[in-house]
Amino acid sequence: MKPEKGCRLRQPFFYRQPRTPTPPRFTVSDGAVTDNLTGLIWLQNANCFGGQTWAAALASGNNLASGACGLTDGSTAGQWRLPTRLEMESLVDRSTYNPALPDNHPFINVQAFYYWSSSTYGYFYTDFAWGVNMYDGGVSNTLYKTNSNYFIWPVRGGQFGNSVISVLPASIAFGTSNQVVTISNTAPGGSSKLQINAIGLRGTNPSQFSINPGDGTGGTCGSTTPILTPGASCTVTVSFTPSSLGTKSATLRVSGSDVNAPNTDTPLSGTGFTVTGSVSGGNGSISSANPTYVANGATASFTLAPAATYQPSTTVSGTCPVGSFNGNSYTTGAITSDCTVGFSFVKNTYPLTITFTGTGGGTVAVQPNPPATDCTGTCSQSIRIGTAVTLAPAANNGSSFTGWSGACTGTGVCQVTMDTAKSATATFTYAPAKVADNFYTTVGAALLSDVLDGGTLQLQSMDLTETIVFNRSVSFSLQGGYDPLFTSINNATVIHGSIAISAGTVNIDNIVIM
Protein backbone atom coordinates (compact mmCIF):
# COMPACT_ATOMS: atom_id res chain seq x y z
CA MET A 1 0.00 0.00 0.00
CA LYS A 2 1.37 3.42 -0.90
CA PRO A 3 1.09 6.00 1.92
CA GLU A 4 -0.81 9.23 1.34
CA LYS A 5 1.14 12.44 1.14
CA GLY A 6 1.93 13.83 4.56
CA CYS A 7 1.47 10.46 6.29
CA ARG A 8 4.15 8.41 8.03
CA LEU A 9 4.09 4.64 8.14
CA ARG A 10 4.29 3.30 11.66
CA GLN A 11 7.25 0.98 12.07
CA PRO A 12 6.61 -2.29 13.88
CA PHE A 13 7.54 -2.24 17.56
CA PHE A 14 9.80 -4.95 18.91
CA TYR A 15 10.33 -5.28 22.67
CA ARG A 16 13.88 -6.02 23.61
CA GLN A 17 14.75 -7.17 27.09
CA PRO A 18 17.03 -4.51 28.62
CA ARG A 19 20.58 -5.72 29.16
CA THR A 20 22.00 -5.21 32.62
CA PRO A 21 25.31 -3.38 32.09
CA THR A 22 28.43 -4.25 34.02
CA PRO A 23 29.12 -1.27 36.30
CA PRO A 24 32.41 0.45 35.41
CA ARG A 25 35.18 0.48 37.96
CA PHE A 26 36.01 4.14 37.38
CA THR A 27 33.82 7.24 37.08
CA VAL A 28 35.30 10.48 35.75
CA SER A 29 33.92 13.83 36.88
CA ASP A 30 35.37 17.38 37.00
CA GLY A 31 39.00 16.31 36.73
CA ALA A 32 38.66 13.63 39.42
CA VAL A 33 38.24 9.85 39.12
CA THR A 34 36.18 7.82 41.59
CA ASP A 35 37.29 4.21 42.04
CA ASN A 36 33.96 2.43 42.49
CA LEU A 37 35.75 -0.59 43.91
CA THR A 38 37.40 1.21 46.85
CA GLY A 39 35.47 4.49 47.09
CA LEU A 40 38.66 6.52 46.76
CA ILE A 41 38.69 9.68 44.62
CA TRP A 42 41.88 10.29 42.64
CA LEU A 43 43.23 13.21 40.70
CA GLN A 44 42.78 12.32 37.00
CA ASN A 45 46.05 14.01 36.04
CA ALA A 46 48.73 11.70 37.42
CA ASN A 47 51.57 14.19 36.83
CA CYS A 48 50.45 17.65 37.80
CA PHE A 49 53.41 18.35 40.15
CA GLY A 50 56.43 16.65 38.59
CA GLY A 51 59.06 15.05 40.82
CA GLN A 52 59.34 16.23 44.42
CA THR A 53 60.82 15.19 47.73
CA TRP A 54 58.58 13.41 50.18
CA ALA A 55 57.90 16.46 52.34
CA ALA A 56 57.09 18.61 49.31
CA ALA A 57 54.81 15.87 48.01
CA LEU A 58 52.86 15.84 51.31
CA ALA A 59 52.39 19.59 51.06
CA SER A 60 51.36 19.49 47.38
CA GLY A 61 48.74 16.91 48.16
CA ASN A 62 47.32 18.78 51.15
CA ASN A 63 47.19 22.12 49.26
CA LEU A 64 45.44 20.79 46.16
CA ALA A 65 42.01 22.37 45.51
CA SER A 66 39.50 22.92 42.75
CA GLY A 67 40.87 25.18 40.03
CA ALA A 68 44.28 23.47 39.97
CA CYS A 69 45.46 20.44 37.97
CA GLY A 70 42.27 20.41 35.91
CA LEU A 71 39.95 20.11 38.95
CA THR A 72 36.53 21.79 38.80
CA ASP A 73 34.90 19.72 41.55
CA GLY A 74 34.65 22.42 44.22
CA SER A 75 37.14 20.67 46.50
CA THR A 76 39.17 22.73 48.94
CA ALA A 77 42.67 22.57 50.35
CA GLY A 78 42.95 19.95 53.06
CA GLN A 79 40.56 17.51 51.41
CA TRP A 80 43.27 16.03 49.19
CA ARG A 81 46.31 14.21 50.51
CA LEU A 82 49.16 11.90 49.61
CA PRO A 83 47.81 8.30 49.51
CA THR A 84 48.94 5.54 51.83
CA ARG A 85 50.89 2.61 50.43
CA LEU A 86 47.79 0.42 50.60
CA GLU A 87 45.70 3.03 48.79
CA MET A 88 48.36 3.46 46.14
CA GLU A 89 48.55 -0.30 45.56
CA SER A 90 44.77 -0.53 45.23
CA LEU A 91 45.11 0.97 41.76
CA VAL A 92 47.73 -1.50 40.61
CA ASP A 93 47.05 -4.33 38.17
CA ARG A 94 50.22 -6.41 38.11
CA SER A 95 49.03 -8.48 35.18
CA THR A 96 50.02 -5.58 32.92
CA TYR A 97 52.73 -2.92 32.84
CA ASN A 98 53.69 0.52 31.60
CA PRO A 99 51.50 1.45 33.31
CA ALA A 100 50.50 -1.28 35.77
CA LEU A 101 46.87 -0.15 35.79
CA PRO A 102 43.62 -1.88 34.88
CA ASP A 103 42.67 -1.91 31.22
CA ASN A 104 40.67 1.12 30.02
CA HIS A 105 41.62 3.23 33.05
CA PRO A 106 40.76 6.94 32.58
CA PHE A 107 43.90 8.51 34.06
CA ILE A 108 46.22 10.79 32.09
CA ASN A 109 49.95 11.52 32.27
CA VAL A 110 50.73 8.35 34.21
CA GLN A 111 54.50 8.06 34.65
CA ALA A 112 56.26 4.70 34.40
CA PHE A 113 58.22 5.33 37.59
CA TYR A 114 57.81 5.61 41.37
CA TYR A 115 55.02 7.54 43.11
CA TRP A 116 55.28 8.58 46.76
CA SER A 117 53.01 7.16 49.42
CA SER A 118 52.46 8.80 52.81
CA SER A 119 53.59 5.62 54.56
CA THR A 120 56.94 5.67 56.31
CA TYR A 121 58.96 2.46 56.00
CA GLY A 122 59.20 1.54 59.68
CA TYR A 123 59.93 2.49 63.25
CA PHE A 124 63.71 2.25 62.94
CA TYR A 125 63.97 3.58 59.35
CA THR A 126 61.97 6.79 59.36
CA ASP A 127 64.24 8.34 56.71
CA PHE A 128 62.60 6.10 54.12
CA ALA A 129 59.05 5.99 52.74
CA TRP A 130 57.13 3.49 50.67
CA GLY A 131 56.61 4.05 46.96
CA VAL A 132 54.87 2.27 44.10
CA ASN A 133 56.37 1.97 40.63
CA MET A 134 53.64 2.45 38.04
CA TYR A 135 55.72 0.74 35.38
CA ASP A 136 55.17 -2.75 36.78
CA GLY A 137 53.39 -2.24 40.13
CA GLY A 138 56.52 -2.91 42.16
CA VAL A 139 56.70 -1.62 45.73
CA SER A 140 59.84 -0.22 47.37
CA ASN A 141 60.57 0.74 50.97
CA THR A 142 63.93 2.38 50.22
CA LEU A 143 62.80 5.71 48.80
CA TYR A 144 64.91 8.26 50.70
CA LYS A 145 62.66 11.11 51.83
CA THR A 146 65.02 14.05 51.73
CA ASN A 147 67.06 13.68 48.57
CA SER A 148 64.81 11.65 46.23
CA ASN A 149 62.30 13.15 43.82
CA TYR A 150 59.32 11.06 42.83
CA PHE A 151 55.86 11.70 41.45
CA ILE A 152 52.69 12.67 43.33
CA TRP A 153 49.16 11.31 42.86
CA PRO A 154 46.76 12.96 45.32
CA VAL A 155 43.69 11.18 46.65
CA ARG A 156 40.72 11.99 48.86
CA GLY A 157 37.89 10.04 50.41
CA GLY A 158 37.85 6.92 52.58
CA GLN A 159 40.78 4.62 53.24
CA PHE A 160 41.25 1.55 51.07
CA GLY A 161 39.85 -1.48 52.79
CA ASN A 162 41.46 -4.62 54.04
CA SER A 163 40.52 -7.26 51.49
CA VAL A 164 42.48 -10.50 51.85
CA ILE A 165 42.97 -13.21 49.22
CA SER A 166 42.57 -16.75 50.53
CA VAL A 167 43.15 -19.73 48.22
CA LEU A 168 42.41 -23.33 49.25
CA PRO A 169 43.81 -25.89 49.06
CA ALA A 170 47.24 -24.41 49.69
CA SER A 171 48.86 -26.98 47.38
CA ILE A 172 47.63 -29.68 45.01
CA ALA A 173 49.21 -33.04 44.20
CA PHE A 174 46.95 -34.39 41.49
CA GLY A 175 45.53 -37.84 42.21
CA THR A 176 42.73 -37.20 39.74
CA SER A 177 42.80 -34.98 36.69
CA ASN A 178 40.47 -32.27 38.08
CA GLN A 179 40.68 -30.33 41.35
CA VAL A 180 38.41 -27.56 42.66
CA VAL A 181 40.13 -24.46 44.06
CA THR A 182 38.25 -22.00 46.29
CA ILE A 183 39.16 -18.29 46.23
CA SER A 184 37.79 -16.22 49.12
CA ASN A 185 37.76 -12.64 50.41
CA THR A 186 38.54 -13.15 54.09
CA ALA A 187 39.01 -9.52 55.09
CA PRO A 188 38.72 -9.08 58.87
CA GLY A 189 35.65 -7.07 59.69
CA GLY A 190 34.24 -7.74 56.23
CA SER A 191 34.35 -4.19 54.90
CA SER A 192 36.08 -4.32 51.51
CA LYS A 193 35.51 -5.91 48.15
CA LEU A 194 38.26 -8.03 46.63
CA GLN A 195 39.11 -7.45 42.98
CA ILE A 196 40.80 -10.49 41.44
CA ASN A 197 42.98 -9.15 38.64
CA ALA A 198 44.23 -12.44 37.26
CA ILE A 199 44.11 -16.20 37.80
CA GLY A 200 46.92 -17.82 35.87
CA LEU A 201 49.55 -20.54 35.63
CA ARG A 202 53.29 -20.15 35.78
CA GLY A 203 56.35 -22.19 36.67
CA THR A 204 58.01 -25.21 35.07
CA ASN A 205 55.16 -26.93 33.18
CA PRO A 206 52.19 -24.54 33.00
CA SER A 207 51.04 -25.99 29.66
CA GLN A 208 50.37 -29.33 31.37
CA PHE A 209 47.65 -27.72 33.51
CA SER A 210 44.55 -25.69 32.69
CA ILE A 211 42.02 -23.47 34.48
CA ASN A 212 38.26 -23.47 34.01
CA PRO A 213 36.54 -20.57 35.86
CA GLY A 214 33.09 -21.97 35.08
CA ASP A 215 30.09 -20.00 33.91
CA GLY A 216 29.37 -18.14 37.13
CA THR A 217 26.69 -20.58 38.32
CA GLY A 218 26.95 -23.08 41.14
CA GLY A 219 29.52 -20.98 42.99
CA THR A 220 32.00 -20.84 40.12
CA CYS A 221 33.93 -17.62 39.49
CA GLY A 222 32.68 -17.20 35.92
CA SER A 223 35.88 -15.44 34.81
CA THR A 224 39.50 -14.95 35.86
CA THR A 225 38.72 -11.42 37.13
CA PRO A 226 35.81 -11.81 39.56
CA ILE A 227 34.93 -9.29 42.27
CA LEU A 228 34.25 -10.85 45.67
CA THR A 229 32.23 -9.04 48.31
CA PRO A 230 33.36 -9.32 51.94
CA GLY A 231 33.17 -12.94 53.06
CA ALA A 232 32.32 -14.21 49.57
CA SER A 233 34.11 -16.95 47.64
CA CYS A 234 34.05 -18.66 44.26
CA THR A 235 35.67 -21.68 42.67
CA VAL A 236 37.73 -22.57 39.63
CA THR A 237 38.59 -26.05 38.38
CA VAL A 238 42.24 -26.80 37.74
CA SER A 239 42.96 -29.76 35.46
CA PHE A 240 46.10 -31.78 34.95
CA THR A 241 46.35 -32.95 31.35
CA PRO A 242 49.90 -34.19 30.80
CA SER A 243 51.22 -34.43 27.26
CA SER A 244 54.31 -36.42 28.15
CA LEU A 245 55.63 -38.91 30.66
CA GLY A 246 56.90 -38.00 34.12
CA THR A 247 56.33 -35.61 37.03
CA LYS A 248 55.08 -32.12 36.14
CA SER A 249 54.83 -28.98 38.25
CA ALA A 250 53.43 -25.47 37.97
CA THR A 251 52.10 -22.67 40.15
CA LEU A 252 48.54 -21.35 40.25
CA ARG A 253 48.81 -17.60 40.91
CA VAL A 254 45.81 -15.55 42.04
CA SER A 255 46.44 -11.79 41.89
CA GLY A 256 44.14 -9.19 43.37
CA SER A 257 43.62 -6.08 45.46
CA ASP A 258 44.98 -7.60 48.66
CA VAL A 259 47.62 -4.94 49.17
CA ASN A 260 49.56 -6.92 51.78
CA ALA A 261 49.79 -10.06 49.66
CA PRO A 262 48.58 -9.23 46.15
CA ASN A 263 49.81 -12.56 44.75
CA THR A 264 48.84 -15.89 46.27
CA ASP A 265 50.65 -18.91 44.83
CA THR A 266 49.44 -22.50 45.00
CA PRO A 267 52.00 -25.19 44.02
CA LEU A 268 50.68 -27.82 41.58
CA SER A 269 52.23 -31.21 40.85
CA GLY A 270 51.20 -34.35 39.03
CA THR A 271 52.63 -37.43 37.39
CA GLY A 272 51.85 -38.27 33.80
CA PHE A 273 51.48 -41.92 32.83
CA THR A 274 51.65 -43.26 29.29
CA VAL A 275 48.78 -45.36 27.98
CA THR A 276 49.57 -47.02 24.66
CA GLY A 277 46.95 -48.64 22.46
CA SER A 278 47.47 -51.24 19.73
CA VAL A 279 45.41 -53.24 17.20
CA SER A 280 46.10 -56.95 16.86
CA GLY A 281 43.34 -58.37 14.69
CA GLY A 282 40.50 -57.67 12.31
CA ASN A 283 40.12 -54.60 10.18
CA GLY A 284 40.17 -51.20 11.90
CA SER A 285 42.36 -48.60 13.59
CA ILE A 286 42.69 -46.23 16.54
CA SER A 287 41.63 -42.76 15.41
CA SER A 288 42.31 -40.82 18.64
CA ALA A 289 45.70 -39.73 20.03
CA ASN A 290 47.97 -42.70 20.70
CA PRO A 291 49.79 -42.98 23.00
CA THR A 292 47.88 -40.78 25.42
CA TYR A 293 49.03 -39.34 28.73
CA VAL A 294 46.91 -39.14 31.87
CA ALA A 295 47.24 -38.11 35.49
CA ASN A 296 47.51 -40.61 38.31
CA GLY A 297 44.04 -41.99 39.01
CA ALA A 298 42.55 -40.64 35.78
CA THR A 299 41.17 -42.72 32.93
CA ALA A 300 42.33 -42.89 29.32
CA SER A 301 39.98 -42.94 26.35
CA PHE A 302 40.49 -44.26 22.84
CA THR A 303 38.27 -43.81 19.80
CA LEU A 304 38.26 -46.76 17.43
CA ALA A 305 37.54 -46.64 13.69
CA PRO A 306 36.34 -50.04 12.45
CA ALA A 307 36.30 -50.73 8.73
CA ALA A 308 33.01 -51.38 6.97
CA THR A 309 31.27 -54.56 8.21
CA TYR A 310 33.54 -54.66 11.29
CA GLN A 311 33.08 -53.69 14.92
CA PRO A 312 35.39 -53.53 17.96
CA SER A 313 35.74 -56.82 19.78
CA THR A 314 34.55 -56.65 23.38
CA THR A 315 37.64 -58.63 24.36
CA VAL A 316 40.38 -56.12 25.26
CA SER A 317 43.92 -57.16 26.18
CA GLY A 318 46.84 -55.33 27.77
CA THR A 319 47.99 -54.25 31.22
CA CYS A 320 45.66 -51.29 31.83
CA PRO A 321 42.78 -51.64 34.33
CA VAL A 322 39.65 -53.02 32.69
CA GLY A 323 37.34 -50.38 31.25
CA SER A 324 34.19 -50.26 29.16
CA PHE A 325 32.91 -49.49 25.67
CA ASN A 326 30.47 -46.80 24.65
CA GLY A 327 29.90 -47.41 20.98
CA ASN A 328 33.30 -47.20 19.31
CA SER A 329 34.91 -45.43 22.30
CA TYR A 330 36.74 -47.30 25.04
CA THR A 331 37.61 -45.86 28.47
CA THR A 332 40.05 -47.62 30.75
CA GLY A 333 39.83 -47.96 34.49
CA ALA A 334 41.80 -45.63 36.77
CA ILE A 335 45.44 -45.47 35.64
CA THR A 336 48.17 -45.75 38.29
CA SER A 337 51.17 -46.62 36.10
CA ASP A 338 52.26 -46.86 32.47
CA CYS A 339 50.16 -49.50 30.75
CA THR A 340 48.96 -50.88 27.42
CA VAL A 341 45.57 -51.68 25.96
CA GLY A 342 45.06 -53.99 22.96
CA PHE A 343 42.10 -53.87 20.60
CA SER A 344 40.88 -56.13 17.82
CA PHE A 345 38.02 -55.96 15.37
CA VAL A 346 35.49 -58.61 14.40
CA LYS A 347 32.97 -58.78 11.61
CA ASN A 348 29.69 -57.19 12.53
CA THR A 349 27.87 -59.04 9.74
CA TYR A 350 28.27 -62.40 8.07
CA PRO A 351 27.00 -63.42 4.63
CA LEU A 352 24.04 -65.78 4.46
CA THR A 353 23.91 -67.50 1.08
CA ILE A 354 20.87 -69.47 -0.06
CA THR A 355 21.32 -71.56 -3.18
CA PHE A 356 18.38 -72.87 -5.21
CA THR A 357 18.77 -76.19 -7.01
CA GLY A 358 16.58 -78.88 -8.57
CA THR A 359 14.16 -79.02 -11.47
CA GLY A 360 11.44 -77.06 -9.72
CA GLY A 361 11.07 -73.62 -8.25
CA GLY A 362 10.00 -71.85 -5.09
CA THR A 363 10.86 -69.17 -2.57
CA VAL A 364 12.57 -69.03 0.81
CA ALA A 365 11.16 -66.56 3.35
CA VAL A 366 13.94 -65.12 5.51
CA GLN A 367 13.12 -63.70 8.96
CA PRO A 368 13.62 -61.24 10.59
CA ASN A 369 12.63 -59.13 7.62
CA PRO A 370 13.98 -56.43 7.59
CA PRO A 371 16.93 -56.40 7.66
CA ALA A 372 16.83 -59.71 5.76
CA THR A 373 14.85 -60.14 2.54
CA ASP A 374 13.05 -63.11 1.02
CA CYS A 375 14.77 -65.06 -1.75
CA THR A 376 13.10 -66.14 -5.01
CA GLY A 377 16.31 -67.61 -6.36
CA THR A 378 19.91 -68.00 -5.31
CA CYS A 379 20.77 -65.00 -3.11
CA SER A 380 23.30 -63.72 -0.58
CA GLN A 381 22.76 -61.08 2.09
CA SER A 382 24.65 -59.68 5.09
CA ILE A 383 23.16 -60.46 8.48
CA ARG A 384 24.35 -58.92 11.77
CA ILE A 385 26.40 -61.18 13.98
CA GLY A 386 24.41 -63.23 16.49
CA THR A 387 21.08 -62.93 14.65
CA ALA A 388 18.88 -66.03 14.69
CA VAL A 389 17.56 -66.36 11.13
CA THR A 390 14.52 -68.45 10.16
CA LEU A 391 14.34 -69.93 6.64
CA ALA A 392 10.93 -71.11 5.46
CA PRO A 393 10.79 -72.81 1.99
CA ALA A 394 7.65 -72.66 -0.18
CA ALA A 395 7.41 -74.51 -3.51
CA ASN A 396 5.85 -72.92 -6.57
CA ASN A 397 2.85 -74.50 -8.29
CA GLY A 398 4.08 -77.57 -10.11
CA SER A 399 7.07 -77.96 -7.78
CA SER A 400 7.76 -79.46 -4.41
CA PHE A 401 10.41 -78.75 -1.83
CA THR A 402 12.45 -81.90 -1.35
CA GLY A 403 14.97 -80.82 1.29
CA TRP A 404 17.87 -78.76 2.62
CA SER A 405 21.62 -79.26 2.56
CA GLY A 406 24.52 -77.24 3.98
CA ALA A 407 23.70 -75.18 7.10
CA CYS A 408 20.13 -76.55 7.09
CA THR A 409 18.82 -80.12 7.06
CA GLY A 410 15.42 -81.77 6.74
CA THR A 411 12.42 -80.83 4.66
CA GLY A 412 10.84 -78.06 6.72
CA VAL A 413 11.56 -74.68 8.32
CA CYS A 414 15.21 -74.17 9.30
CA GLN A 415 16.84 -71.77 11.82
CA VAL A 416 20.49 -70.71 11.72
CA THR A 417 22.45 -68.42 14.07
CA MET A 418 24.86 -66.04 12.36
CA ASP A 419 28.03 -66.78 14.31
CA THR A 420 29.98 -67.23 11.07
CA ALA A 421 29.29 -67.16 7.33
CA LYS A 422 26.43 -69.56 6.54
CA SER A 423 25.30 -71.25 3.31
CA ALA A 424 22.23 -73.43 2.75
CA THR A 425 20.92 -75.13 -0.39
CA ALA A 426 17.18 -75.50 -1.03
CA THR A 427 16.15 -78.19 -3.53
CA PHE A 428 12.86 -77.77 -5.41
CA THR A 429 11.75 -80.60 -7.71
CA TYR A 430 9.36 -80.34 -10.65
CA ALA A 431 6.03 -81.92 -9.56
CA PRO A 432 4.09 -83.39 -12.51
CA ALA A 433 1.21 -84.75 -10.41
CA LYS A 434 -1.39 -82.90 -8.38
CA VAL A 435 -4.25 -84.03 -6.17
CA ALA A 436 -6.35 -81.21 -4.75
CA ASP A 437 -3.71 -78.71 -3.45
CA ASN A 438 -0.90 -81.19 -3.07
CA PHE A 439 1.91 -81.78 -5.57
CA TYR A 440 3.85 -85.00 -6.17
CA THR A 441 6.98 -85.86 -8.03
CA THR A 442 5.59 -89.21 -9.26
CA VAL A 443 2.17 -90.52 -10.17
CA GLY A 444 2.67 -93.52 -7.89
CA ALA A 445 3.30 -91.31 -4.87
CA ALA A 446 0.07 -89.39 -5.53
CA LEU A 447 -1.94 -92.62 -5.89
CA LEU A 448 -0.64 -94.04 -2.64
CA SER A 449 -1.09 -91.04 -0.44
CA ASP A 450 -3.79 -88.64 -1.48
CA VAL A 451 -6.28 -89.70 -4.16
CA LEU A 452 -9.83 -90.21 -2.78
CA ASP A 453 -13.03 -91.71 -4.02
CA GLY A 454 -14.45 -89.35 -6.61
CA GLY A 455 -11.25 -87.32 -6.77
CA THR A 456 -9.06 -86.29 -9.66
CA LEU A 457 -5.35 -86.91 -10.20
CA GLN A 458 -4.01 -84.22 -12.58
CA LEU A 459 -0.87 -84.67 -14.66
CA GLN A 460 1.11 -82.03 -16.52
CA SER A 461 1.48 -82.21 -20.28
CA MET A 462 4.87 -83.92 -20.41
CA ASP A 463 6.59 -87.27 -20.88
CA LEU A 464 6.77 -89.49 -17.82
CA THR A 465 8.62 -92.76 -17.42
CA GLU A 466 6.84 -94.75 -14.77
CA THR A 467 5.11 -98.08 -14.08
CA ILE A 468 1.83 -97.25 -12.37
CA VAL A 469 0.07 -99.77 -10.14
CA PHE A 470 -3.33 -98.97 -8.62
CA ASN A 471 -4.94 -101.30 -6.12
CA ARG A 472 -7.25 -99.15 -3.99
CA SER A 473 -11.00 -99.63 -3.91
CA VAL A 474 -11.87 -96.10 -4.95
CA SER A 475 -13.14 -94.54 -8.12
CA PHE A 476 -11.26 -91.49 -9.45
CA SER A 477 -10.22 -89.70 -12.63
CA LEU A 478 -6.70 -89.60 -14.12
CA GLN A 479 -6.48 -86.50 -16.33
CA GLY A 480 -3.42 -85.52 -18.32
CA GLY A 481 -2.33 -82.63 -20.52
CA TYR A 482 -2.37 -79.76 -17.92
CA ASP A 483 -0.22 -76.64 -18.14
CA PRO A 484 2.46 -76.13 -15.41
CA LEU A 485 0.01 -74.20 -13.24
CA PHE A 486 -2.68 -76.88 -13.60
CA THR A 487 -5.22 -74.30 -14.74
CA SER A 488 -6.07 -75.62 -18.21
CA ILE A 489 -5.58 -78.62 -20.52
CA ASN A 490 -3.55 -77.87 -23.61
CA ASN A 491 -2.17 -81.26 -24.67
CA ALA A 492 -1.73 -84.84 -23.47
CA THR A 493 0.52 -86.59 -20.98
CA VAL A 494 2.72 -89.38 -22.36
CA ILE A 495 3.51 -92.24 -19.98
CA HIS A 496 6.43 -94.40 -20.98
CA GLY A 497 5.63 -97.58 -19.11
CA SER A 498 2.37 -99.19 -18.05
CA ILE A 499 -0.74 -98.75 -15.87
CA ALA A 500 -1.93 -101.78 -13.87
CA ILE A 501 -5.32 -101.57 -12.09
CA SER A 502 -6.02 -104.40 -9.61
CA ALA A 503 -8.78 -102.68 -7.58
CA GLY A 504 -11.06 -99.71 -7.90
CA THR A 505 -12.00 -97.74 -11.00
CA VAL A 506 -9.92 -95.24 -12.94
CA ASN A 507 -11.31 -92.89 -15.59
CA ILE A 508 -8.41 -91.98 -17.90
CA ASP A 509 -8.43 -88.82 -20.04
CA ASN A 510 -5.69 -87.21 -22.22
CA ILE A 511 -3.20 -89.94 -21.33
CA VAL A 512 -1.00 -91.65 -23.96
CA ILE A 513 0.64 -94.93 -22.84
CA MET A 514 3.69 -95.99 -24.78
pLDDT class of 290 with cuts at 50, 70, 90? very high
Per-residue pLDDT, 407: 96
Q: Using CA atoms, how far apart are residues 402 and 216, in angstroms rounded to an integer?
A: 76
pLDDT class of 2 with cuts at 50, 70, 90? very low
Q: How far is CA 363 from CA 240, 295, 368, 487, in A?
A: 64, 61, 16, 21
* Reduced 3-state DSSP string for 360-390: CCEEEEEECCCCCCCECCCEEEEEECCCEEE
Catalogue the E-assigned strands of 368-455: 379-384, 388-395, 399-406, 414-417, 422-430, 433-435, 438-440
- Using DSSP, state whether 60 is helix, strand or coil: helix
Q: Using CA atoms, how far apart are residues 34 and 179, in angstroms rounded to an integer?
A: 38
Per-residue pLDDT, 484: 78
Which position has the higher pLDDT, 361 or 118? 361
Of 433, 452, 439, the C-alpha closest to 511 is 433
Q: Using CA atoms, how far apart are residues 108 and 87, in angstroms rounded to an integer?
A: 18
Q: Using CA atoms, how far apart are residues 269 and 237, in angstroms rounded to an integer?
A: 15
CATH number of 165-271: 2.60.40.10
Q: How many helices (H) and strands (E) does the chain have?
A: 3, 37
Of 464, 330, 484, the C-alpha closest to 395 is 484
Per-residue pLDDT, 480: 93
- Using DSSP, state whether 130 is helix, strand or coil: strand
Looking at the domain 26-156, which fold is it?
Mannose-Binding Protein A; Chain A (3.10.100)
Query: What integer best gives the mean pLDDT of the chain?
Result: 87
DSSP state of 208: G
